[in-house]
Amino acid sequence: MIVLTAALISGCAVPGSHLTVDDEQTTSESEAVNTKINVHPITPANIYTFKQNEISSTANPSLELQIQNYEYHVGVGDVLNITIWDHPELTIPAGSYRSSAESGNWVHSDGTIFYPYIGVVHVAGKSVREIRSDISAKLSQFIESPQVDVNLASFRSQKVYVTGEVSKSGVLPISNIPLTLLDAVNQSGGITEDAAWKEATLTRNGVTEQVSLYGLMQKGDLTQNRLLQRGDILHVPRNDNQKVFVLGEVNEPKMLKIDRVGMSLTEALSGVGGINEYQADATGVFVIRSTSENKEVDVYQLDVSEATSLALGTEFELQPYDVVYVTAAPLSRWNRIMYQLLPTISGFNQLAQGVERTNNIYSDN
């Protein structure tokens, strides 16, 4: 029986999941998934090499220069309000029943307006100063030293779009006041609780770049701010993909969602009630992270047999779709084997007892 049991143990697989970091696995490619596995121990000497670059308050001089030089250019659909001083007959009055937007000069689809005496004037794509100069030059043929004032009564031609997890998504007009990305978020009522504010995107002319509202609004990194242009799309996605999976020998295995400020390895372990002190191998707390670009899997190993090592875990930042796995202690794995073998051993014992009783009966006869 002892020989048979030993043979069964040596020939069967250990029930349940387990993770080892033997040299064979760390240097060769897995035949099952054709993926290279790289193991990185988390130690006080290298913990800061795993941290992402710290975000800090940073000025944005280039944006300030853009704002200083900003000038609105008229487009199709805008409404101009043109005043010729000392010539009320050329200025359309806005009465109590007519606003400036209703009584002004609307820019037609061909980019022109009509004005008395001078006829059709092309204004699309020009600034207010350029339009004022054009009208003054043309009116000077009929009026001596005309005093012309031009302003926008309604901004209708240029818009940006704010979508996703903001309080009020929609369309924002671009006006003579520069509109930045931060202004657009604030005018949309701010972001919601479900916003993935580290993964906002700005799409311009078909090109999409990622911007961090976390860095901009939480850390004061003004390099994340942008001066918005016509047709820009600012999208703030939901945090549905901000999830990590905590499995293995923990008290409550489950999926956790990364909050706005992120989640450390220690926070993840705390969120599942910690490791199972009776069954877990405290030296085997792993973070499994895959990269689809080069088909590699990075495995980070933290030894928490010393409780002070949990302080290292607070410095290790988890990323979306990380798998935190706590492996089983050798004794736990042995218990699983015995749990599987006990019914078989009991059956052999019963069979042996039956054979012995049968032999005794034949001997008595």
Rounded CA gap, 225 and 117, in Å?
46
Rounded CA gap, 204 and 65, in Å?
20
pLDDT of residue 49: 85
**Average predicted confidence (pLDDT) for the chain:** 83
pLDDT of residue 144: 87
Q: How confident is the model at residue 145 (pLDDT cuts 50, 70, 90)?
A: confident
Among 67-76, 248-257, 301-310, which is the least confidently predicted range?
Answer: 301-310
Q: How confident is the model at residue 28 (pLDDT cuts 50, 70, 90)?
A: very low
For residues 312-346, one letter each, b for 16 or more C-beta atoms within 10 angstroms of the residue's C-beta and e for the rest, the string is: bbeebebebebbbbbbbbeebbeebbeeeeeeeee
**pLDDT above 90 (res 240):** no
Return the higher-pLDDT residue of 154 and 336. Answer: 154
Return the higher-pLDDT residue of 352 and 327. Answer: 327
pLDDT of residue 29: 43
CATH architecture, domain 16-45+242-331: Roll (3.10)
**pLDDT above 80 (res 253):** yes
pLDDT, tens digit (0-9, with 9 covering 90-100), for 312-335:
999 999 999 999 999 887 644 545
pLDDT, tens digit (0-9, with 9 covering 90-100), for 57-100:
899 999 999 999 999 999 999 999 998 888 776 776 554 455 66
pLDDT of residue 104: 83
- When pLDDT is averaged across residues 107-122 and rounded to a whole number, the result is 93
pTM beyond 0.75: no
Q: Which tokens in the block code for residue 133? A: 């100069």
pLDDT of residue 332: 47
Q: What is the DSSP string of 67-112?
A: HHT---B--TT-EEEEEETT-GGGS----TT--HHHHSEE--TTSE
* Residue 194 φ/ψ, nearest 5 degrees: -95, 15
Q: How confident is the model at residue 9 (pLDDT cuts 50, 70, 90)?
A: very low
The CATH number that domain 159-240 falls under is 3.10.560.10
Going by C-alpha positions, the residue among 187, 154, 170, 148 that lies closest to residue 72 is 154
pLDDT of residue 19: 63
The partner residues of 114 in beta bridges, in order of sequence, read 120
Rounded CA gap, 233 and 227, in Å?
12
- When pLDDT is averaged across residues 47-66 and rounded to a whole number, the result is 88
pLDDT, tens digit (0-9, with 9 covering 90-100), for 183-236:
999 999 999 988 999 899 999 999 999 999 999 999 999 999 999 999 999 999
Q: Which residues make up the CATH 3.10.560.10 domain(s) of the chain?
A: 16-45+242-331, 159-240
Going by C-alpha positions, the residue among 195, 198, 170, 196 that lies closest to residue 184 is 170
Return the higher-pLDDT residue of 357 and 26. Answer: 357
Q: How confident is the model at residue 13 (pLDDT cuts 50, 70, 90)?
A: low
Q: What is the DSSP string of 258-288?
A: --TT--BHHHHHHHTT-B-TTTEEEEEEEEE
Going by C-alpha positions, the residue among 144, 32, 7 that lies closest to residue 85 is 144
CB burial class (10 A; 0-12, 13-18, 19+) of residue 131?
buried
Q: Which residues make up the CATH 3.30.1950.10 domain(s) of the chain?
A: 79-154
Rounded CA gap, 325 and 322, in Å?
10
pLDDT of residue 26: 46
Which CATH number, 3.40.50.300, 3.40.50.1820, 3.20.20.100, 3.30.1950.10, labels domain 79-154? 3.30.1950.10
**pLDDT above 50 (res 147):** yes
